[in-house]
Amino acid sequence: MTITITDGQKSLECAFTEGEGLLTVIKRNIHFNSPCGGRGFCGVCQADVKKPGRDDFRPELTCFLKAQDGMVVRVRSIHPADS
């Protein structure tokens, strides 16, 4: 299962296991700010998310979502987590 993380210029295909939180998958693959640790208090982890079966992106707090196969997450910029 994979999600796609994109900034409009670059895209990353990111594998995950069933039941994993979207924020966890994102942070494993790119630098992504979430000052409250994913508890939903700060709103900084918001990204535009296109869920499978939808044609549009909607702003979502990634800490509240489970990753879904085929999901696309649009972020401001992609900086790999290992750099």
What domains lie within the chain, and their CATH numbers? 2-74 (3.10.20.30)
The SS3 of residue 28 is helix
Question: Residue 57 carries which side chain, given as an amino acid letter?
Answer: F
Are residues 58 and 72 in contact, defined by beta-carbon separation less than 8 angstroms? no
Say how many CA atoms lie within 13 Å of 27 toward its Cβ: 15
Q: What is the mean pLDDT of residues 42-61?
A: 95
The total of other beta-carbon atoms located within 10 Å of residue 56's CB is: 8
Instruction: Report if pTM > 0.85.
Output: yes
Kindly tell me if the per-residue pLDDT of 64 is higher than 60: yes
Kindly tell me if the per-residue pLDDT of 30 is higher than 70: yes
Distance CA 5, CA 9 (A): 11
Res. 80 pLDDT band, cuts 50 70 90: confident
